[in-house]
Amino acid sequence: MDEVKTKNSPNVPLQGAGGKDHAELAAEFNIDEKRVDWHDETLWWIRQKRDKNVHQLPEWELLRETASQIKFNVLSNLSSYLEQFEKNAIANGVVVHWAKDAAEHNQIVHGLLQKHGVSKMVKSKSMLTEECHLNEYLAEHGIEVIDSDLGERIVQLAKEPPSHIVLPCIHKKKEEIGDLFHMYLGTPSNVADPQFLTEAARQHLREIFLTRKAALTGVNFAVAETGEFVVCTNEGNADMGAHLAEVHIASMGMEKIIPKREHLGVFLRLLTRSATGQPITTYSSHFKKPRAGKEMHIVIVDNGRSTQLGREDFRNSLKCIRCGACMNTCPVYRRSGGHSYHTAVAGPIGSILSPNLDMKKYADLPFASTLCGSCSNVCPVKIDIHDQLYKWRQVLVKEGYVATGKKISMQVMAKTLASPALYHLAGKAGRLTLKFAPFAVNNKLNPWYKNREMPEPPKQSFGEWYKQNRQS
Amino acid sequence: MTVGLFIPCYVDQFYPNAAIATLQLLEKLGVNVVYPMNQTCCGQPMANSGFEHLTHGCNELFIKNFSEFDYIVAPSGSCVLHVREHLHDENQEAKAESTRHKVWELTSFLTDVLKVEHLEARFPHKVGVHQSCHGQRGLKLSQMSELVAPGFSKPGSLLNMVKDIELIPLNRVDECCGFGGTFCVAEEAVSAKMGKDRVADHVSHGAEYITGVDMSCLMHMEGILKRQGSDVKVLHIAEILNSTP
C-alpha cells in the first residue's frame, strides 16, 4: 500500500482529479451558484422524501439499532460467515472466487470472460466495480462493458464517473441528458422529456440485454445460511442482464454478508427508505443457483476491507449498506457535488472509507466536513460517520499527511492558547489589527473576507470588562 | 453553588456582550458566578484540525482554572461538546474526567440544573433560531429532524418564556451554517455558500434577529449579513434571555 511508501511525507498531500483537492474542486463547482442551488435542492428533496417515509414508521429507530447490531455481529464473526456462505453457495452450484484486491478481482472477471470468449458484457450497478475500476481494465483488454442502470449508462455516455452511489447522474440536468442521448442514441435534438428519454434508453438497452452472453451484477446482501444473494434495483436491469446471459458474475465486497434470510426483513425496509424515500426497491431479486446449462460466479473482494476491519476506530464503517442517505443529507456534498470527492464512493461515507485505501490520495476528504453530524443521524446502520471523520483527521496528521504551514501555525496557536499571558497579548494585538482569530488560522489571503465581513472589534475583551466591573 | 464561567476565546475577544449577558443572567437567577481570569481556549481549533495531540497545554490550563467549581457553564454548545468529549490529561486523568462531567452549555444548565420555568425578559421582535450542530446533535439540546423521536428544544423552551418574542418558522430547521471551525477558511467556497443559504432561510421568513447557542455560527452568519448590507442582526441567546422586561 501507498501508506508505507509515503509515510511521514512532509509535503502537502497530492490529491486526485488532476491533483486538485476537495476544496479546489468544490470551489470550481461553486462558480455557477444557480447550479449549486439546483443540485442542493434536488438532493434536499430526496432527504425530505426520506424523512416523510421514515416518520411513518414508529419503529424506525429500533430498526436502525437492530440493523446496526446484526452488522456488528457479522463484522465480529466475518470469517466464519464467509466460509458458511461459500460452502452453501458451492452446494447450490455457484462458483466462488476470492480476490484480495482490485487487481485480482479484475483478473478473475477478465479470466471468466476470456474462457467464454466474451468481448461484450452487460453490467448492472455495482459500486465495487467502480472502486476496482473494472470498466477501464476490461476496455484495456478489448472488452466492451455497457452499464445497464439508467443513471450509470448516462454517466458512461458522458465519460464521467458516477457522482453518487445510488443516483449516479444526479449532477446532470435533464437537458444535458437529452443532448447526450441525441449524440449517442439518436434521439431528436433538444428533447428533455424524462419519459421520452427513459423509453429511448429502454429500447437501446433491450438490444444490449438480448445480445450479451455475460452479465455482471453487484450484491446488496449475501445470506450466509442459504448461500444466496440479493440484488436490489428499481429498473429490473440486473434481472434482465442476469436472466438472459450464459454467465452471471456477481461482484461482492466481503462485508455484504448477513447471517440469515430473515434479516432481510430488517435491511430491505431500511435500504430504500434511507436511499430514496421509497418503502422498498422495485426489484429485490434473490439469486441462488445457476439455471440449467448456465454458470453463476461470485467474486468475494477484500480490497482493503480486512485492513479497515483491523482499525478499531473505523471498523464499523464496514456496516455500510450503500444507501447514500449520508450524501443526500450532507450540506457539504449537496454544495460541492460528488466529483469533488475524487473517489468512487463520495460524500461522508466515502470520506471515512477512502483514506483506508490510500491515505495520501484521500488525506483531504475527512476535512471536507463541518462535523455537523447529520450523516450519522440518517445512517440506517448507525455508523458514527462524523466521529470517524474527526478520528481520521487525527490519524492523517500523525501519519504526516499535512501541509507544513498548517503544522507550524497549529504549533504556534497551541503555544499561544496554552499561555494566558501570550493569549492576552495576542488578543489585544488581534483586536487592533484583526489578525488574531482562531478560526482563521493559516490563511495567507484571508479567505474569510472573500464572502464575509470580519466581526467588529469591541473596545475591550470580556476579560477586561470583568476586571473593571466585577473585580475593582 | 459556585459556577465557573467559561467564556470561549473568540467570544472573549469579539463578542463580550454575549459573555456579559451570560454572567448577568446567571447572577439574576441567584447563582454565584466566578470568571477565572487565566482562561484561554478549550483547544477545539487544534483538535478539529487533526492536532488533538497539541491540546495538552490547553487541557492542563482548563483543569487548573475550572476543576474546583461545582459547575462550569459556557455560552457555547461547541466548546462544551469539545471539553465533554476530549478533555484529557494523562497526568491527572481522574481530575480531567470530573471536570468533563461538570461542564454545561448555558441553556441546558438553565433548563436541567436550575430548572428555570420563568424569566423576566421581553424581546418584541421576530427571531429566527439557528440550531448549532454541536449543541443540537452533539449535546442533544433539541430534537434532530433526522430522527423519528418526540420533539423538544431546550433553547426553544427558554425563548418561549420571553415576552412578546415571535419565533419565525424555517424551511430547513436544523441545517448547518457552514462555519465548521477551520472549515470556514479551508473550504471557503462551500462554507460561504452554506452560510448564505442559511441566512436566506431566516431572511425570507422575516427574521429581524437570528439567535442561537453558539456565537461562532452567528459570527459566520453575521459576516454574510453584513456583506449583503442586511439589517438583520445576530444575537446570542443569552442576550435575549437577559433582555430587560
Pick the last residue of a domain from B61, B87, B113.
B113
Q: Which residue in the set A29, A377, A437 is minimally distant from B147, CB to CB?
A: A377
- In-domain check, residue B118: no
**In this structure, are residues A338 and A163 in contact, taking their beta carbons and an 8 Å threshold?**
yes
How many CB atoms sit inside 10 A of residue A184's CB?
14
3-state secondary structure (DSSP) of residue B50: coil
Task: Note whether B64 and B7 are same-domain residues.
Answer: yes
Best probe of the B interface among A35, A48, A273, A370, by most B CBs < 10 A, is A370
- In-domain check, residue B150: yes
Q: Which three cell numbers stand for residue A457?
A: 472589534
Q: What is the DSSP letter of A85?
A: H
Task: Note whether B229 and B137 are same-domain residues.
Answer: yes
Q: CA A351 to CA A221: how far, in whole Å?
A: 23
So what's the pLDDT on residue A471?
84
Residues pairing with B127 in the sheet: B167, B209
Q: Note down the domain range covering B40.
A: 2-113
**In this structure, are residues A374 and A331 in contact, taking their beta carbons and an 8 Å threshold?**
yes
- In-domain check, residue B212: yes
Query: How many angstroms separate the CA of residue B209 from the nearest CA in chain A?
Result: 16
* Neighboring chain B residues of A441 at a CB cutoff of 8 Å: 45, 49, 182, 185
Q: CA B159 to CA A432: how far, in whole Å?
A: 35
- DSSP assignment of A301-336 equals E-TTHHHHHH-TTTGGGGG-----HHHHH-HHHHTT
- pTM value > 0.90: yes
Sheet holding B103-105, edge to edge: B32-34, B2-5, B71-74, B103-105
How many CB atoms sit inside 10 A of residue B100's CB?
17
**Residue type, position A349, single letter:** I
> Into how many domains does chain B fold?
2
- Look at the block and give the residue holding cell 466492451: A144
Least confident of A408-422, A423-437, B10-24, B213-227: A423-437
- Burial class of residue A177 in the structure, from the number of CB atoms within 10 Å of its CB (0-12 exposed, 13-18 middle, 19+ buried): buried
Q: What is the DSSP letter of A56?
A: T
Query: How many angstroms separate the CA of residue B182 from the nearest CA in chain A?
Result: 5
So what's the pLDDT on residue A3?
33
Q: What is the pLDDT along chain A (472 residues), one digit of tens a residue?
A: 333 333 333 333 344 446 899 999 999 999 999 999 999 999 999 999 999 999 999 999 999 999 999 999 999 999 999 999 999 999 999 999 999 999 999 999 999 999 999 999 999 989 999 999 999 999 999 999 999 999 999 999 999 999 999 999 999 999 999 999 999 999 999 999 999 999 999 999 998 888 899 999 999 999 999 999 999 999 999 999 999 999 999 999 999 999 999 999 999 999 999 999 999 999 999 999 999 999 999 999 999 999 999 999 999 999 999 999 999 999 999 999 999 999 999 999 999 999 999 999 999 999 999 999 999 999 999 999 999 999 999 999 999 999 888 898 889 889 989 999 988 888 776 664 444 454 444 455 578 888 888 888 888 999 999 999 998 7
Q: CA A205 to CA A114: how far, in whole Å?
A: 23
CB contact under 8 A, A446 and B40: no
Task: Note whether B215 and B155 are same-domain residues.
Answer: yes
- In-domain check, residue B156: yes
CB contact under 8 A, B224 and A452: yes
CB contact under 8 A, B52 and A462: no
**In this structure, are residues B70 and B32 in contact, taking their beta carbons and an 8 Å threshold?**
no
So what's the pLDDT on residue A430?
65
Q: Please measure the distance between the N-terminal and C-terminal CA atoms of chain A and give it in whole angstroms.
A: 63
Task: Note whether B235 and B130 are same-domain residues.
Answer: yes
Task: Note whether B131 and B67 are same-domain residues.
Answer: no
Q: Which residue in the set B50, B133, B148 is minimally distant from A372, CB to CB?
A: B133
Pick the last residue of a domain from B113, B134, B160.
B113
CB contact under 8 A, B184 and A438: no
- In-domain check, residue B121: no
So what's the pLDDT on residue B245?
87
pLDDT in tens, B131-180: 999 999 999 999 999 999 999 999 999 999 999 999 999 999 999 999 99
CB contact under 8 A, A431 and B13: yes
- In-domain check, residue B120: no
**In this structure, are residues B202 and B175 in contact, taking their beta carbons and an 8 Å threshold?**
no
So what's the pLDDT on residue A6?
34
So what's the pLDDT on residue A437?
55
Task: Note whether B138 and B225 are same-domain residues.
Answer: yes
Instruction: Give the chain A residue whose CA is nearest to the CA of B134.
Output: A372
Query: How many angstroms separate the CA of residue A430 from the nearest CA in chain B?
Result: 9
Task: Note whether B152 and B227 are same-domain residues.
Answer: yes
Task: Note whether B64 and B142 are same-domain residues.
Answer: no
Q: Which three cell numbers stand for residue A362?
A: 484521500
So what's the pLDDT on residue A10?
36
Instruction: Give the chain B residue whose CA is nearest to the CA of A434.
Output: B14
* Neighboring chain B residues of A402 at a CB cutoff of 8 Å: 50
Q: CA A451 to CA A32: how far, in whole Å?
A: 15
Q: CA A339 to CA A26: how far, in whole Å?
A: 9
**Three-state secondary structure readout of B155-166:** HHHHHCCCECCE
CB pairs under 8 A between A and B: 241
In 3D space, the residue among B123, B121, B138 whose CA is nearest the CA of residue B24 turns out to be B121
- DSSP assignment of A369-436 equals -----HHHHH-TT---HHHHHHHHHHHHHHTT-S-HHHHHHHHHHHHHHT-HHHHHHHHHHHHHHS--
Q: Which three cell numbers stand for residue A102?
A: 482490485
Instruction: Give the chain A residue whose CA is nearest to the CA of B226.
Output: A453
Q: CA B56 to CA B76: how far, in whole Å?
A: 21
CB contact under 8 A, B12 and A331: no
So what's the pLDDT on residue A18?
65
**In this structure, are residues A178 and A154 in contact, taking their beta carbons and an 8 Å threshold?**
no
CA dihedral over A111, A115, A118, A121, signed as positive or negative: negative
Task: Note whether B221 and B163 are same-domain residues.
Answer: yes
Within 8 A by CB and 6+ apart from A136, the residues are none
Query: How many angstroms separate the CA of residue B94 from the nearest CA in chain A?
Result: 21
Pick the last residue of a domain from B113, B136, B151.
B113
CA dihedral over A444, A448, A452, A458, signed as positive or negative: negative
So what's the pLDDT on residue A426?
80
- DSSP assignment of A245-280 equals -SEEEEEEETT-EES-GGGHHHHHHHHHHHHTS-SS
* Neighboring chain B residues of A406 at a CB cutoff of 8 Å: 49
Q: Which three cell numbers stand for residue B96?
A: 480531567
- In-domain check, residue B84: yes
So what's the pLDDT on residue A450?
86
ipTM metric: 0.97
So what's the pLDDT on residue A435?
45
What values do phi and psi take at B100, rounded to 5?
-55, -45
Instruction: Give the chain A residue whose CA is nearest to the CA of B219.
Output: A455
Task: Note whether B77 and B108 are same-domain residues.
Answer: yes
Task: Note whether B106 and B200 are same-domain residues.
Answer: no
Instruction: Provide the Cα torsion A62, A65, A71, A76; round to 10°.
Output: -130
In 3D space, the residue among A393, A446, A360, A444 whose CA is nearest the CA of residue A19 turns out to be A360
Query: How many angstroms separate the CA of residue A216 from the nearest CA in chain B?
Result: 35
* Neighboring chain A residues of B43 at a CB cutoff of 8 Å: 414, 417
Query: How many angstroms separate the CA of residue B229 from the nearest CA in chain A?
Result: 10
- In-domain check, residue B119: no
Strand B209-212 with B233-236, pairing: parallel
Within 8 A by CB and 6+ apart from A421, the residues are none
Q: CA A222 to CA A125: how far, in whole Å?
A: 16
Task: Note whether B30 and B52 are same-domain residues.
Answer: yes
- Full set of structural domains in chain A with CATH: 2-51+307-398 (1.10.1060), 77-303 (3.40.50.10420), 410-470 (no CATH)
Q: What is the DSSP letter of B85?
A: H
